[in-house]
Amino acid sequence: MMRRKKTITLVIISIVLATNVFFALPRIDKYSSVDEPYWTYKRISKFWTAVSERKWRSTNINDKPGITTAILAGPGLWSIDPMPYKSLRQEPKTQEVATAIEKINFSFRLPIYLTSLLFLLLFYFFLKKLFDTTIALLSLIFIGLSPIILGISLIINPDSLLWGFLPLTILAYLLHQKKSALNTHVEKIDLANDTPGKMFLEIVRQKKYLIAAGIFLGLSILTKYVANILYVYLLGLLFLEYIYNFHPRKKISDYLKKSMLEYLALIAISMAVFFILFPACWLMPAMVLKGTFLSPAFKSTWPIFVIFLGIIFADLVLFKNFFSAKIIDFLAKYKQVFKKTFSVLLIFGTIFVIANVYSNMRFVDFEADIASPKGGSGFSAIRFISELSSNLYVLIFSLTPIVFLFFIWAIFTNSFRRVETDSKESAVVLYFSIFIVLYYIASEVNHVIATTRYQIAIFPLASIIAAIGLKQSLSRLPWENIKHSMRANLAYALAIILSIGSLFLISPFFFNYASLLLPQKYVLNLKDMGDGSYEAARFLNTLPNAKDITIWSDKGAVCETFLGTCKVSFSKKDVLGTDFKYFVVSAGRKSRSLKMSAIFNDSVNFKKLYSSEESGIWRINIGGRANDFVKIVPVENIAK
């Protein structure tokens, strides 16, 4: 029986990885992305040149900071030096140069993609330890076959790594908490007789998941400063775990003393990782603080956080947790009310989003919010609710239908499930739901709407919630005559088939995926990463004398593959006097282009250029959506 289970597990893992590779490999070099040239031609080379020349200060390459992206994509430099091709992107090029640019993309993207495959294995390992094989396998299917996650994994960008590092930090911390709950007796280290090496190994053995959480936290912040939210969230999770999993089995004073010391260790490990892997910090140690607690993403909230942390430690040292115990006892008394209230608000938010979408966005124009993700300053309750619902809109319709249905099902059913039964599953659904809302609120505080890319780290957590919902359904549906193992196998098969179906429907434009539940007239990922640009350029290259043609494109990604001259700006020197033959435009840049097109007012009708009536000589509708297009229009079609 055990051998059969292991075989099934191995088969499912193999199917997920093989399917992921099947869709990904042909796409790695046959794709042009926006923003990537900043990494391939500037930041990655700058980082490794600085390291080789020991110019540590120059390793500060970006304000994200994107250090893990530079480190992991660095092996691409062994294959090809991108710098000779830096200025050729918008210039006429030979086929040999175009081929070399594709090799640059492949060489730098491949290490990032291989890291994403490693993430999938780590997700399975952690989830199996945290829950069981069923949830681990279903989560692996939902994460590994997610079009959005696959799409971002093929792009050189910090978000291509954040989707793995950030959720793995949370899972590792939860595993540590689970181990602490199960181990009532902890082996003491013999300081008198044990050697330093033996003591170190024993500490690692006892605290391995806490150490892993600290390492992943450091890597998350090195990837993108938005991961600083974990400092707040993990502190809150410390209290939530006591309320939902420890209370009243463990004395609050003992728990808080131990947990707060471990939390400080977690912070210390993350900061050590940040310091070690970011050479600029070696010369300027203050950058560790600027990159963690004093980073721009944490700027508006860190004073409150530090004050709160100080109050907790003051209560711990001076009052022996008297006030903390009173507050936690009160929260524990009403934990079911809190869980139900929070879940109901999230469910009603989902209902509002769906109702708004299917009523022609009568109440909130989600597309308008996403088209301009940098929100306004100041606070407005109406705008706050509007932008929060826009964030939720992106999540709901970026999930595949099966993941969304079991995601919302898990939140609904677990809100009315007593924590004493299936406590870990029910509690984790609540924890991850809280993180999603906290992430959205943090985005609002920083005046940013969480577009698909900006909330990429949420997708694995939503997938895990969906996996919990599907697993719990195995014992609830009316199929008593079917063995549990057979139910699980049917669930695996259903999840794999439907997930692969979603990949086929959107292939090869994975990052522009929008659920079948979203009406065809709406566009979800208005801030896409260049899907369709490569295909447009390849078509242009088939035209006679392509090298002698000059085009204007609203995305630089088209220029990368096009053999002729390509302009992307609205500046006078690039526009006036230039004999454009074709315009290449996409739905995602419509709003920006119409605002900036004054320079073309005397020659080109930009409204007609972007209108749905003008199809041009070539057009592709991403995911079959007429309003999500990339098209090539001859200048005579839109000339004034």
Specify if 89 maps to a domain. Answer: no
* 505 and 541 fall within a common domain: no
- In the block, which residue shows the tokens 């090195």? 222
Instruction: Pick the closest to residue 293 from 312, 278, 274 (CA basis).
Output: 274
Total number of domains constituting the chain: 2
Specify if 27 maps to a domain. Answer: no
β-strands 582-586, 550-553 pairing: parallel
* 391 and 482 fall within a common domain: yes
User: For 166-179, how does the pLDDT look when each residue is reduced to its tens digit (9 = 90+)?
Assistant: 999 999 999 999 88
* 373 and 303 fall within a common domain: yes
Q: Record the tokens describing residue 579, joined without a space.
A: 């004999």
Specify if 507 maps to a domain. Answer: yes
3-class DSSP assignment, residue 160: helix
* 426 and 287 fall within a common domain: yes
**CA pair distance 607, 615, nearest whole angstrom:** 13
- Residues of the domain holding 542: 533-638
* 538 and 579 fall within a common domain: yes
Specify if 219 maps to a domain. Answer: yes
Residue 550 — φ and ψ, nearest 5°? -115, 130
Instruction: Pick the closest to residue 297 from 235, 237, 221 (CA basis).
Output: 221
* 493 and 595 fall within a common domain: no
**CA pair distance 370, 365, nearest whole angstrom:** 9
Contact 539, 618 (CB under 8 A): yes
Specify if 2 maps to a domain. Answer: no
Instruction: Pick the closest to residue 29 from 534, 509, 500 (CA basis).
Output: 534
Query: Domain boundary residue among 512, 545, 572?
Result: 512
Contact 156, 64 (CB under 8 A): no
* 501 and 556 fall within a common domain: no
- The sign of the CA dihedral 536, 539, 543, 547 is positive
DSSP-assigned beta bridge partners for residue 65 = 224
Q: Record the tokens describing residue 180, joined without a space.
A: 């602490």
* 428 and 553 fall within a common domain: no
Specify if 603 maps to a domain. Answer: yes
* 224 and 133 fall within a common domain: yes
Q: Record the tokens describing residue 32, joined without a space.
A: 């042009």
Find the distance separating the first CA and the last CA of the chain, reported in whole Å: 75
Mean pLDDT by 10 residues, the chain (640 residues): 84 97 95 90 94 94 92 94 83 90 95 97 97 95 97 95 98 91 56 63 81 97 93 91 71 82 94 96 90 73 76 78 79 82 88 95 88 65 84 95 96 72 79 92 80 94 96 74 76 95 95 94 87 94 93 92 92 88 92 87 88 88 91 90
* 563 and 476 fall within a common domain: no
Specify if 71 maps to a domain. Answer: no
567 membership: H or E segment, kind and range: strand 565-567
Residue 620 — φ and ψ, nearest 5°? -130, 130
* 599 and 465 fall within a common domain: no
Query: Domain boundary residue among 458, 477, 512?
Result: 512
Alpha helices by DSSP H, 474-564: 484-506, 533-541, 557-561
What residues contact residue 478 under an 8 Å CB cut-off, 6+ apart? Answer: none
Instruction: Pick the closest to residue 176 from 272, 266, 247 (CA basis).
Output: 266
- pTM for the whole thing? 0.93
* 596 and 452 fall within a common domain: no
Instruction: Pick the closest to residue 134 from 553, 484, 634, 565 (CA basis).
Output: 484
Specify if 314 maps to a domain. Answer: yes
